[in-house]
Amino acid sequence: MQQPWEVKEKKKNERIIKGRDLVDVVFSWSVRDVLNSNLYKGKVDKIPNTFQSSKEYFRSFVNPIIEETHAALLSSMGTLRRAPAFKIWEIKPAKDFKPPKNLYYIVTLQTTSDNIMTSGDRKLLEFNDLIAVTDKKPYRIDDLRCSNEPYLLALVCGVNEDNPHLITILASKPIDLDEGNMDTRKKGKGVKKSISRFGVYLTNMMTNIRIWTALHPDPDGGNLKLISKVLQSNSEVGCESCASCQENSQNIMPNHIEKTLRSFKLNSSQEDAILRCLEAKNCNHFNNIKLIWGPPGTGKTKTTSVLLLNLFKMKCRTLTCAPTNIAVLEVASRVVNLVSESLKFGGYGLGDIVLFGNKERMKIDEREDLFDVFLDYRVDELYACFLTLTGWRANVNRMICLLSDPKEVYQKSFTEKDKRPPFKKFVEERFSKLRTDLRFQFSTLCLHLPTATLSFRVAERMNQTSDLLRTMTVSNVLRKEDENDTRKQDCVKMLGSICDSLDLQDYIGKFELKTLCLDNALLMFCTASSSARLHMSYPIQLLVIDEAAQLKECESAIPLQLPGLQHAVLIGDEKQLPAMIQSKIASEADLGRSLFERLVLLGHKKQLLNMQYRMHPSISIFPNREFYGMRILDAPSVRVRSYEKRFLPGKMYGPYSFINVPYGREQFGQGFSSKNMVEVSVVDEIVSKLYSVSRKTGRSISVGVISPYKAQVFAIQEKIGQRFDGSEQFTVSVRSVDGFQGGEEDIIIISTVRSNGKGAIGFLSNQQRTNVALTRARYCLWILGNEWTLANNKSVWRQLVNDARARGCFHDAYDDESLAQCIKRSATALDDLDKLHDNKLISFENSIWKVLLSNEFLKSLEIIIDSEINKRVMSVLEKLSNGKFQQDLETENLFIQQDIDEGLSLFWGIDIIKKDNHYLQVLKIWHVMPSSDVSCAEKCLENHYKGYTKVKIERCRYICYQGNVVVPMRWPIKSCLKNGMIRDVSRSFALLSVVDEAEETSEAEECVED
């Protein structure tokens, strides 16, 4: 294993791979290293608050980012079975293949339908994907083998734009290309050979490689002006105004800017924050970093978008970054809407705004409002305008020729042998097509070209020419010069003027168009990671980082070093959630801390947005007091009586309530996360009530359900299912606290989960997480929790319970009769489930069949959590255990569907278990689920019966009657051999043909009562 601090110098003649040192560290890890969660324990120092030099600053993040990369790879091993796997058709050494280090290969991925893929969004491998090259699709760690190598990693360092199935990889070890590792298959009349290899996606290293590159800047260049400003406590950072600017009156804003700000009806704190940033932008005496503190609901996004609109009008070249694509899209959408309202014609001016990033991850296809500013879309549109033969200039010249001398054009368009259409028809068709093409191309150029390359005068002339062409007919084209109608002559002059005025090449390729758009844009939007693309572009004056408190400080180092950058504005709230960190070691080293938070810790001044517009005052008062020292004012709009909305009757369902849910029980769910099924049932009951109100009244209601625990989120999602998906007026969103940051709904229900006698609440005690959860609701916030557990923990939750009691907002769930019944049913059902979990093979009194409960069946009961349904299920099981099978068993299917009540069915079948040297038939209970959802039971059976022999499957189907009662069969163990394994069990088991095997039919079969 290579040590994290070992950084080797790049050789000049090597292919340049950014972050190569980090890649080499990853390649140095063995499988054992990857699986060792403590690999770097004790080797990752805590990131300090201040730094003596930029070198020390960058070095402090190196080991934590290596550990975080290690944690991401370790995490991928846990989901190896579900990892996308791509069949490799061909591997060959690349031109720059040079052992032992530069192991570059050209890889062709199979493109046919039998290319193995698992479920998921990934259809292709992407740049900087880390993959494992294996002999087969892996289901466990031991399957990560390639020839004699136990573990072979590769980094995707190139993807062919025209053929994305053709990639270049850098391998950690040489790949065996021996003929013995080839597969053959028929293709047409011949036989094709392909290498027997798979590329298994593990993780994408793009962001960490970009961070690594930012942490190792070019010693001979680079812009470290702003980095040097944040090394230590600096009174200049975040200060009110520059003294030199004040003396020279340079910081006085023009009247029209202040007038513009007033038109947006901003409050004084918002106006002041924007003005301070605009003043800093004009300062040439030193580099500024401004902090805008935006607590929940204070109009942070509105403030940011108005600031950017003013920077746009001031022609200030600005980059706006955020940690996530969602945050980038939100602020970009707001700015585009504001700018569009002020445009004069044809969208001219939008070409100065560029949004760029990964199209799939941004889900741009779902954001029609951003099509016109998204870089890839823009380049595609412009590319068609700059083709040599069919581009705008070629069409302008054709139109000039047609208008000037249509007869000459007609003559030159045909050879002597060609059959010519009538002259008038030819002119009419030619003019109509050219007019359509030119009007579209002029519109595209006005919309997408930056104003630096297309002046307002030329754009206006294009618009006028387009209008003129629209009014012309073929008669105007054919008519000779007419003093009374000069449209034809005017059009020719205007077209010629446009050609002369627009100094752009006739043909521009896509790469050059991307460069043109980025280099001349005024406002650019992307994630902080994607800003790495701008390090070779024209200088940028100002950087705005939205949601800055959620961005790792080392990641903010990417945009902070952009060429020409003089000033930065960080907008965020360190009282809300920080960046997500996978590694506990890296988290303890403060890798997740943002630059915003560190500067606040050092005492840098921040401009507070002090008025909230989201929450009813009953909701806002507690977080305001606990987290913001009562510095946040409630806006007049939330203090009016009409803002208090009642959705359900009773004081419990007022604007703010803590609802005590007793008798809950903590359980471990997915990934050792906690869940509380009693609270799940209470949430479901409340949501169902709200839905009934919405249906009866036609009232639009949006509900958010928040829990800090993923297992609880999953359990609530399963319980609620898709019951409300078809409603336009009623929406339910169930997410974790982290997933809800930045979101808001009419009603928020918080499920705190924890319910124990110790007062232990785990990471629920995190104040930032609590703050986010408590500040998402507009009208109603209902908190579900166990009073005793929360009040006996020395955390903010004790204060919350006591505050709710003092304000008369504390309620017992038993005060609501429907909730009381729900809790009682759930608690009883949980007790029943505990008994079933303790003994999955059960026998009823005087029964003749043993009943085997599957894990899936127990999970399905857990989701339902209803003691009444449990009773019905157990009643059916008791009848079945007495051999009273009501269904027709003369079928080839291995499972039977039996109704429990309306819409709910029990899925069961006959299975075989070992008992006392015999194989014994038992009843296997698979699921309780909606009757329509048969596919889930089929899938479960398919997995279960894959390893059964044909004879064993036949014995599962075998039915023995004694009178009207079905009795279980048994066979000696020695009769069940291990041959005839079934590898593909069809969903319809009726298609299986079971053939008796001579050596097995000789065994005597016994019909017994067990």
Q: State pLDDT tens for residues 690-704.
A: 999 999 999 999 999
Q: Whole-number mean pLDDT of the chain?
A: 86
Q: How far is the C-alpha of 785 from the C-alpha of 755, rounded, in Å?
A: 8
Question: How confident is the model over 585-607, as pLDDT tens digits?
Answer: 999 999 999 999 999 999 999 99
What does DSSP say about strands 960-962 and 965-967: parallel, antiparallel, or unpaired? antiparallel
The pLDDT of residue 930: 77
Which positions ≥6 away from 237 have C-beta within 8 Å?
A: 229, 230, 288, 289, 599, 604
pLDDT of residue 9 exceeding 50: no
The token duo for 550 is: 């959620």
pLDDT of residue 766 exceeding 80: yes
**Cα separations in angstroms, 278 against 257, 564, 604:** 10, 18, 19
The token duo for 65 is: 């980012």
**Cα separations in angstroms, 397 against 408, 632, 991:** 14, 63, 69
pLDDT, average across residues 489-497: 93
Question: pLDDT-derived band of residue 460, with 50, 70 and 90 as boundaries?
Answer: very high
With beta carbons less than 8 A apart as the criterion, state whether 815 and 691 touch.
no
With beta carbons less than 8 A apart as the criterion, state whether 332 and 525 touch.
yes
116 backbone φψ class: left, alpha, beta (φ>0; ψ -120 to 50): beta
DSSP 928-962: EEETT-HHHHHHHHHHHGGG-BHHHHHHHH--EEE
The pLDDT of residue 454: 95
Question: pLDDT-derived band of residue 537, with 50, 70 and 90 as boundaries?
Answer: confident
Question: pLDDT-derived band of residue 995, with 50, 70 and 90 as boundaries?
Answer: very low
Question: pLDDT-derived band of residue 180, with 50, 70 and 90 as boundaries?
Answer: low
pLDDT of residue 971 exceeding 60: yes
With beta carbons less than 8 A apart as the criterion, state whether 558 and 529 touch.
yes
Report which of 590, 586, 540 is spatially closest to residue 561, judged by C-alpha positions.
540
**Cα separations in angstroms, 879 against 540, 718, 893, 913:** 77, 29, 21, 21
Question: pLDDT-derived band of residue 386, with 50, 70 and 90 as boundaries?
Answer: very high
Q: 444-481 burial by CB neighbour count: b if 16+ within 10 A, else e?
A: bbbbbbbbebbeeebbebbbbbbebbeebebebbeeee
Share of the chain above pLDDT 90, in %: 59
What does DSSP say about strands 129-134 and 841-842: parallel, antiparallel, or unpaired? unpaired
The pLDDT of residue 426: 94
pLDDT, average across residues 366-389: 95
pLDDT, average across residues 501-524: 94
The pLDDT of residue 780: 98
With beta carbons less than 8 A apart as the criterion, state whether 431 and 474 touch.
yes
The pLDDT of residue 1002: 34
Which residues are paired to 155 by β-bridges?
130, 170
With beta carbons less than 8 A apart as the criterion, state whether 144 and 210 touch.
no
The pLDDT of residue 892: 61
Question: How confident is the model over 796-851, as pLDDT tens digits?
Answer: 999 999 999 999 999 999 999 999 999 988 888 777 767 666 666 677 767 888 88
Helical spans, DSSP H, in 807-930: 817-838, 855-864, 867-881
Question: pLDDT-derived band of residue 1001, with 50, 70 and 90 as boundaries?
Answer: very low
Question: How confident is the model over 45-74, as pLDDT tens digits?
Answer: 999 999 999 999 999 999 999 999 999 999
The pLDDT of residue 43: 95
The pLDDT of residue 246: 61
Question: How confident is the model over 223-254, as pLDDT tens digits?
Answer: 999 999 999 876 555 555 666 666 565 555 66
DSSP state of 911: E
The pLDDT of residue 709: 92
Strand ranges in 563-671 using DSSP code E only, listed in sequence order: 567-572, 607-608, 611-612, 633-634, 656-660, 666-668
Question: How confident is the model over 407-441, as pLDDT tens digits?
Answer: 999 999 888 777 889 999 999 999 999 999 999 99
The Cβ of residue 769 has, within 10 Å, a number of other Cβ atoms equal to: 20
pLDDT, average across residues 677-699: 94
Question: How confident is the model over 78-137, as pLDDT tens digits?
Answer: 888 888 999 999 999 999 999 989 999 999 998 654 455 544 457 789 999 999 999 888
Share of the chain above pLDDT 70, in %: 86
pLDDT, average across residues 546-562: 97
Report which of 607, 717, 688 is spatially closest to residue 300, judged by C-alpha positions.
607
Question: How confident is the model over 601-625, as pLDDT tens digits?
Answer: 999 999 999 999 999 999 999 999 9
The pLDDT of residue 991: 32
Helices (H) and strands (E) in the chain, counts: 36, 34
The pLDDT of residue 247: 58
**Cα separations in angstroms, 539 against 563, 643, 661:** 5, 48, 58
pLDDT of residue 8 exceeding 80: no
The pLDDT of residue 541: 95
The pLDDT of residue 992: 32
Number of residues in the chain: 1010
More confident: 457 or 187: 457
Q: Which residue has the tokens 């608050």?
A: 49
The Cβ of residue 853 has, within 10 Å, a number of other Cβ atoms equal to: 19
Q: How far is the C-alpha of 658 from the C-alpha of 813, rounded, in Å?
A: 9
pLDDT of residue 933 exceeding 60: yes
Angle between helices 206-214 and 553-560 (to 10 degrees): 70
Q: Give the H or E element holding residue 154.
A: strand 153-159
The pLDDT of residue 467: 93
pLDDT, average across residues 201-223: 91
Q: How far is the C-alpha of 618 from the C-alpha of 403, rounded, in Å?
A: 72
pLDDT, average across residues 910-916: 84
Question: pLDDT-derived band of residue 787, with 50, 70 and 90 as boundaries?
Answer: very high
